[in-house]
Chain A
Amino acid sequence: MLLVLLLLPMCWAVEVKRPRGVSLTNHHFYDESKPFTCLDGSASVPFDQVNDDYCDCKDGSDEPGTAACPNGSFHCTNTGYKPLYISSRWVNDGVCDCCDGTDEYNSGIVCENTCKEKGRKERETLQQMAEVTREGFRLKKILIEDWKRAREEKQKKLTELQAGKKSLEDQVELLRTLKEEAEKPEKEAKDQHRKLWEEQLAASKAQREQELATSAFQELDDDMDGAVSVAELQTHPELDTDGDGALSEGEAQTLLGGDTQTDAASFSDRIWAAIRDKYRSEVLPTDLPSPSAPALTEPKEEQPLGPSQPAEEEDEEEEETEEEEGGEEGEDEDSQETPPPVVPPQTVSPTEEDKMPPYDEQTQAFINAAQEARNKFEEAERSLKDVEESIRNLEQEISFDFGPNGEFAYLYSQCYELTTNEYVYRLCPFKLVSQKPKLGGSPTSLGTWGSWAGPDHDKFSAMKYEQGTGCWQGPNRSTTVRLLCGKETVVTSTTEPSRCEYLMELMTPAACPEPPPEPPASGNRDEL
């Protein structure tokens, strides 16, 4: 609209006599031959009181050419440029407000008439703007067409995808069934295999225990009479039960189940279990394998030794992780205080029988078949997810408000950058705005897509991005993007008018209004 007005030729060249500060349009209200009636009708004064530097009218209309009325307006003709109303309080205040200088006729300063020059510049600017608008609008129409087509294509693709999704879903269900079927024999075979191995393991353990008991018996049976007596037992004070450091006769007897001696069979059946943990072999000072040691482990996994070992190792792992995190944050001071006790992993290779033997051929075949079924199922499931994602994206894009004719659609999935002295600003329309220090460093979010934010009558002239990174002692960062008509799509400026509230300007053909019809080729436009 503004543009239209500005382009209107101003071609009244005839000088009309009128009181100072009166516009041509109002000229007829000021008739020298009659008393002057205030424009608001509030009073009527003799005409010689017009511009007599005293305010008579409430609306200031009797003093259009002086500063006498606080609310009056002074009209500058500004021949060669645009006419202008200024506050009459600015008349003769020593500041040139009108380009023709008519507002300073009695303040002692001389104002240069700059209207011609300003008019020339203005015309140039207007011409440029008109050119930009024309070209921009042409591009905009293309953008609209492009989006129409693209939208249809996307709609088509969406339909396809939705159809495809159906069959994919069916396929996934089928594969799920196949997978479950293949997993059944797999499980049975594996269970069977494990059970066998466990039984084997238990048997060999019992045998080892028996051997131990036998050798202990032989050790204890000092007189080799085939029986262990109280006295023989007493040679092992570590078997003390009341904690006084010595194995009394009574204690020994109790150990022997109230008898004075025991033979090999009952020793291994009844007594060994009670004393094995304390018993120290006379030949081998090494610890005996504990019966409570973890027996069952998956094959291939390394077997840690000792009952307290696993817990310790967990601790260590945790501490290591903490240290790593600390290191990343650069807070490595504390970590030096308590270095974790570095325990070298005591990987004693487990005895052969602790390892589960490999699966037999049959079982392995079941496992392979099940794995194949699983892979197929998962692959199908992934494809389904991909399709669903594509559908969601397409639906979102198609339903997005890209302006009255979808002219802004082309900005979707694009990003534009502006580099300033300190930062690189990045605008990905309808998604986010960010700011990254030029000299490296991580980006700061200046907001994610919120809504169109232009005034009611021009909603698509601005975008709002909200909920960016929080400001130190301030609000979350947010950005308003003003859209300006331009031939190209480019971010032209970024400012921060209020702390953490950014303002960005994006030039785009999509913001170009429809230009007025081409002016007649040789219009008289000199008077602007």
Chain B
Amino acid sequence: MDAAEKISVEDEAVDKKIFKDCSKIAFYRRQKQRLSKKSTYRALLDSVTEGKESTRFQIINEAAKVPLLAEVYGIEGNIFRLKINEEAPLKPRYEVPDVLTSKPSTVRLISCSGDTGSLVLANGKGDLKCHITANPFKIDLVSEEEVVMSINSLGQLYFEQLQIPPKQSRATKENEEDTSDDTTQENQEELGLWEEKFRNFVDVKDNGPASIGLDFSLHGFEHVYGIPQHAESHQLKNTSDGDAYRLYNLDVYGYKIHDKMGIYGSVPYLLAHKLGRTLGIFWLNASETLVEINTEPAVKYALTQMGPVAAKEKGRSQTDVHWMSESGIIDVFLLTGPTPSDVFKQYSYLTGTQAMPPLFSLGYHQCRWNYKDEHDVKAVDAGFDEHDIPYDVMWLDIEHTEGKRYFTWDKKRFPNPKRMQELLRSKKRKLVVISDPHIKIDPDYLVYAKAKEQGFFVRNHEGGDFEGVCWPGLSSYLDFTSPKVREWYSSLFAFSVYQGSTDILYIWNDMNEPSVFRGPELTMQKNAIHHGNWEHRELHNIYGFYQQMATAEGLIQRSKGKERPFVLTRSFFAGSQKYGAVWTGDNTAEWSYLKISIPMLLTLSVTGISFCGADVGGFIGNPEAELLVRWYQAGAYQPFFRGHATKNTKRREPWLFGEEHTRLIQEAIRERYALLPYWYSLFYSAHVASQPVMRPLWVEFPDELETFSVEDEYMLGSALLVHPVTEPKATVVDVFLPGSSEVWYDSKTFAHWEGACTVKIPVALDTIPVFQRGGSVVPIKTTIGRSTGCMTDSPYGLWVALSTKGSAVGEFYLDDGHSFQYLHQKQFLHRKFSFTSGVLINSCADKRGHYPSKCVVEQILVLGLKKHPSSVTSHSPDGKAQPVAFTYCAKTSTLNLEKFSLNIGADWKVQIQ
């Protein structure tokens, strides 16, 4: 085997000693220690000034003496923003740029002073108010007279103001004062103010302590979600002492599950939901962040000995959320909902919506570390055709390069990358290759030499280029936080610059936490220096975000702005959805990892990142055939669908597990391809309407308490409920079908159930429990080709599942699948299907769009039609009526319209009598 092993970080299990727990984080210790000695802040309300955009006032605590400046903004779409910063810091404190899509439009808040010692700021309509109490400082968020959230009601506001570094003479001073400083020194170490030790690393902090913290009490809420990425349950758990959710992007090979340690990406955004209201708290900070959660459930009347009034008080549940960050300012957005859908819109108004993926990227992706050479690629590609399994994208990991020099090809293994891409292109397939942020130190490597020459690398504390070990050996790291570096990096993807690249080549950014093999916690030293002289600690969590941003921009630019990019990233931050897809990193081939993929992806989905997936089969280790089959079945119903495996695993292309398993995998992938029109339409909805593709049940059923904690099943859009089998040798699964007024149809057998019940569904190895919700129309492809590109002209079918009232609606979106013409020229088709009173109507959902398609709908399946129809007639746009052949099955109440052939983009209706 080759040399890569020698510098590998592979360990089958995580060595948790490499990573910090809370007790090893100095700012956590400081905040805990300081907060135990309460010193409350008060607002100086006589200092209130009303600016054009915000209302400002000072807050002060007696210990600090120097006041802080608080600003409250009203933002379009029922959002409040609270900023707290030093009024005149010694030097500017980091405020996270580039995450907000544009400067959010502010709305003027009307101040209607309350009593003395309080200030009320209301939105235009007056239904949302910020009630500010002066002493102790507290803000209540009031919606229609109900206090839904309180800020600093627990007095955990914490703000370390920048200080002048202790004089260099400190050492001499200590000498003078002799032994008297011993305890102080010990204390220094404990507090980690100017220096913090971990294992054999010392973090020297030139700026000293700068941490911040604030608490939020959510009244009546018991369910909170979000703050990815953790290998944890969807619903956030109470944090015990020293076990906060950590947001710090780290490369954790084979991460432990059910753990709150930080892994590859961070979105500092939390959602809270209760009956009647959904809220969001977006804590815009890119430094290391810890979140503590404490939920006090409601106390039932029956359980209390107190009087009814007291009991009522007590009966209200509450969740306290305590945010702590190492650095930066307090900049927090309060998203007031009130519905889940509103919160999704509010969040995407701030950070952007999911990028519209090119259609091919919703197909199946075949990856492995590594497909060895062009011959191997050719053989695997042929294998898919030979076994008649559709797939869209072949992937190449780091070994395709010349010694891990990205943008190059290993000349021996890949002598003719263009020819290889032509082979893939001939089947309308694509290629994705890896491009990591570390650049091998090698003066003869052009990318290195150019970046070095222009000073494009992150610098170390001493001022030289930062150097760390990664795949290529000693490397420097591009400073993607600099716009100039990003611009240059983007230019590297131009076809003329990236030798051997063609327009079917797309990119994958890995190791961008950034991963530094011998660095503290396998990442970069916090005192490394970025563009603008900012320390790495200020922006660690956004480093990977910037690489994906620059990569996506590069792919757009190489097509002269015409083509949509596809970029997969491992590290991410709030807003990464604008640039492509995210996966859950180095998971393991075990059932428990298959199971946890569902809550992990649901959490990403509700925090804006709809295009997400987990490596099918598990990256590390060898899945047995049954696990692999179940994983393909689950993956087929998850947004980003890629099989991947690490280097020392056995080959696991779908056809290597015997005929029966090959067939099962083929079947699962084909189901994915059949549903692509639905997937694509869902992504359009995520793109324009901010609605997640993969949805936890509570999002679709916000008024049904039983759904709030469900994480073994989920909704795909609003029409399909998926309950993947995640247990070995399962013969039956318990599927919860929510909604008392709902009806659900098994997508295979067409059997139906009333909602609000748990049903036992028998499962064989070929069963993927998927249920269509009554009242929905799902568009599908009736013929599966070898790739999405080969299916452009193939016909459609419609699955019409009737509600209890006998109606159904659904949408369908189509464009060329790859360009920005849908945006710039409005070349798209957005149709609406509605079924009421026996008539199915295909009508236009968005008149702005035009896109000619020669595709026809050839099959319509109506589920839940109680009565045998006597005739079915189609009415085309020209008014021509034609009888339609049909078959009706009374046993399953299913009507099948055959020999149907009406254009998908035309107005027509079908009448059933």
A89 touches B898 (CB 8 A): no
- Say whether B10 contacts A473, CB under 8 Å: yes
Question: Is A496 among interface residues, defined by CB-CB distance under 8 A?
Answer: yes
In whole angstroms, what is the CA distance A94 to B649 when docked? 36
CB of B258 closer than 8 Å to a CB of A:
no
Which residues 182-223 of B sit at the A interface, judged by CB distance below 8 A? none
Q: Shortest Cβ distance from A332 into chain B, in angstroms?
A: 21
Bound complex: CA of A93 vs CA of B651, how far in Å?
30
Do A90 and B651 touch (CB < 8 A)? no
A residues neighboring B (CB under 8 Å): 54, 67-68, 70, 87, 89-90, 92-96, 107, 421, 471-474, 495-501
Contact of B12 among A94, A96, A473, A495 (CB under 8 A): A473
Q: Pick the contact of B785 from A68, A93, A472, A501 — CB < 8 Å?
A: A93
**Quick one: closest A residue to B425, CB to CB?**
A95
**0 or 1 for each of B783-799: is its CB under 8 Å from A? (1 = yes):** 11110011111100000
Known: A95-B428, A473-B648, A497-B651. A68 touches B12 (CB 8 A): no
A89 pairs with B649, CB closer than 8 A:
no
A-chain residues with CB within 8 Å of residue B426 when the two chains form the complex: 95-96
Q: A70-B784, A497-B651 are in contact. Are A90 and B790 (CB under 8 A)?
A: yes
Interface centre among A68, A95, A471 (most CB of B within 10 A): A95
Q: How far is the CA of A499 from the CA of B412 in the complex (A)?
A: 19
Report how many A-B pairs have Cβ atoms within 8 Å. Answer: 61
| Chain B residue contacts of A94, Cβ below 8 A | 428, 789-790, 792
Kindly state the separation between the CA atoms of A506 and B5 in the bound complex, as whole angstroms.
30
Q: When the two chains form their complex, are residues A70 and B783 in contact, meaning their CB atoms are under 8 A apart?
A: yes
Give me 10 other A-B pairs in contact (C-beta within 8 A), A70-B784, A92-B793, A501-B650 excluded.
A54-B901, A68-B783, A90-B785, A90-B786, A93-B785, A95-B790, A421-B412, A499-B648, A499-B649, A500-B648
Contact (Cβ within 8 A) A89 B651: no
Residue in chain A with minimal CB distance to B646: A499
Q: Which of B498-539 contact A (CB under 8 A)?
A: none
Q: How far does the Cβ of A360 sit from chain B's closest Cβ, in whole Å?
A: 68
B647 at interface, CB cutoff 8 A? yes
* Contact A472–B1 (Cβ < 8 Å): yes
Chain A residues closer than 8 Å to B12, beta-carbon distance: 473
Contact between chains at B899 and A54 (CB < 8 Å): yes
Chain A residues contacting B10 (CB-CB under 8 Å) are 473
A96 to B12, CA, bound (A): 45
Q: List 18 A-B contacts (CB under 8 A).
A: A67-B785, A87-B388, A89-B388, A89-B785, A90-B785, A93-B428, A93-B791, A93-B794, A94-B790, A95-B790, A96-B426, A471-B1, A473-B648, A474-B648, A496-B372, A497-B376, A499-B1, A499-B647
| Residue of chain A at shortest CB distance from B2 | A422
The answer for the CA separation of A95 and B791 in the assembled complex, in Å, is: 11
Tell me the bound Cα distance from A54 to B372 in angstroms. Answer: 43
B828 to chain A, nearest CB (A): 21
Whole-angstrom distance between the Cβ of B402 and the nearest chain A Cβ: 13
Residues of A within 8 A of B428 (CB): 93-95
Question: Which residues in window 1-33 of B have CB below 8 A to A?
Answer: 1, 5, 10, 12
CB-CB contacts of B368-403 with A at 8 A, as 1s and 0s? Answer: 000010001000000000001000000000000000
Residues on A with C-beta less than 8 A from B427 are: 95
Partner of A107, one of B783, B784, B793: B793
> Which residues, 650 to 699 on B, are CB-close (under 8 Å) to A?
650-651
In the bound complex, residues from chain B placing their C-beta under 8 Å from that of A472 are: 1, 5, 648
The 4 lowest CB-CB distance pairs between A and B, nearest first, are: A93-B790, A498-B651, A474-B648, A93-B785
B436 at the interface (CB under 8 A from A): no
Closest to A52 in B: B899
Contact A500/B651 with A89-B784, A95-B428 known, Cβ cut-off 8 Å: no
Minimal Cβ-Cβ distance residue in B for A86: B385
How far is the CB of B657 from the nearest CB of chain A, in Å?
13
B858 interface contact, C-beta 8 A: yes
In the bound complex, residues from chain B placing their C-beta under 8 Å from that of A473 are 10, 12, 648
Q: Which residues of A contact B412 (CB under 8 A)?
A: 421
How far, in whole Å, are A262 and B651 apart by their CA atoms in the complex? 99
Give the residue of A70, A96, A107, A498 whose beta carbon is less than 8 angstroms from that of B650. A498
Cα A498 to Cα B790 with chains together (Å): 31
Complex interface bits, B839-861 against A, C-beta within 8 A gives 1, otherwise 0: 00000000000000000001000
- Closest chain A CB from B52 CB (angstroms): 57
CA–CA, A393 and B647, complex, Å: 41
- Distance in angstroms between the alpha carbons of A32 and B743 in the assembled complex: 48
Minimum C-beta distance from A433 to chain B (A): 16
Do the beta carbons of B785 and A471 come within 8 Å of each other? no
A94 to B790, CA, bound (A): 6
Minimal beta-carbon separation of A400 from chain B (angstroms): 31
Q: How far is the CA of A497 from the CA of B427 in the complex (A)?
A: 24
Q: Out of A54, A95, A107, which one reaches B786, CB within 8 Å?
A: A95
Of residues 876 through 913 on chain B, the ones whose CB sits less than 8 Å from some CB of chain A are 898-899, 901
Report the minimal beta-carbon distance from A135 to chain B, rounded to whole angstroms. Answer: 28
**Smallest CB separation, A101 vs chain B (Å):** 13
Q: Bound state CA distance, A497 and B656, in angstroms?
A: 12
Closest Cβ–Cβ distance, residue A68 to chain B (whole Å): 7
* A residues less than 8 Å from B791 (CB atoms): 93
Q: How far does the alpha carbon of A496 sit from the alpha carbon of B786 in the complex, in Å?
A: 28
For A500, list chain B residues within 8 Å (CB).
1, 648
The interface residues of chain B lying within 8 Å CB-to-CB of A495 are 372
> How far apart are B12's CB and chain A's nearest CB, in angstroms?
7
In the assembled complex, which residues on chain A have CB atoms less than 8 Å from the CB atom of B901? 54
Could you tell me the distance in whole angstroms from the C-beta of B711 to the nearest C-beta in chain A?
33
The answer to whether A67 and B794 have CB atoms under 8 Å apart is yes
Q: How near does chain A come to B36, taking the closest CB pair, in angstroms?
A: 46
For A499, the chain B residues whose CB sits under 8 A away are 1, 647-650
Q: What is the CA–CA distance of A96 and B423 in the complex, to the nearest angstrom?
A: 12
Q: Which of B607-665 contact A (CB under 8 A)?
A: 647-651
User: Are B858 and A54 closer than 8 Å at their CB atoms?
Assistant: yes
Residues of A close to B648: CB separation below 8 A = 471-474, 499-500
Minimum C-beta distance from B488 to chain A (A): 34
**Which B residues between 414 and 467 are near A, CB-CB below 8 angstroms?**
426-428
What is the chain B residue whose CB lies nearest that of A495?
Answer: B372
What residues of B have a CB within 8 angstroms of the CB of A67 in the complex? 783, 785, 794
From B1, B783, B793, give the contact of A89 (CB < 8 A). Answer: B783
Complex CA–CA separation, A70 to B782 (angstroms): 8
Partner of A93, one of B5, B376, B647, B786: B786
Q: Which residues of B contact A96 (CB under 8 A)?
A: 426
- Most B CB contacts (10 A, CB to CB) among A94, A96, A473 go to A94
CA distance A421 to B411 in the complex (A): 11
Q: How far is the CB of A123 from the nearest CB of chain B, in Å? A: 23
Complex: A42 Cα to B791 Cα, angstroms: 28
Min Cβ gap A35→B in Å is 16
Closest A-chain residue to B784, C-beta based?
A89
The answer for the CA separation of A471 and B426 in the assembled complex, in Å, is 38
Q: How far is the CA of A93 from the CA of B12 in the complex (A)?
A: 44
CB distance from B320 to the nearest CB of A (A): 44
Of the candidates A54, A92, A421, A501, which one forms a contact with B898 in the assembled complex, judged by CB atoms under 8 Å apart?
A: A54
Report Cα–Cα, A172/B609, bound state, in Å: 86
Chain B residues within 8 Å of A421, by CB: 412
Cα–Cα, bound, A471→B8 (Å): 14
Provide the bound-state CA to CA distance between A500 and B651, in Å: 11
Specify which chain B residues have a CB less than 8 angstroms from the CB of A474 in the assembled complex. Answer: 648
- A466 CB to closest chain B CB, in angstroms? 16
The minimal Cβ–Cβ distance linking A84 to chain B, given in whole angstroms, is 13
A89 to B385, CA, bound (A): 11
Q: How far is the CA of A67 from the CA of B856 in the complex (A)?
A: 14
Interface residues of B in 759-799 (CB under 8 A from A): 783-786, 789-794
Give the docked Cα–Cα distance between A93 and B784 (Å).
10
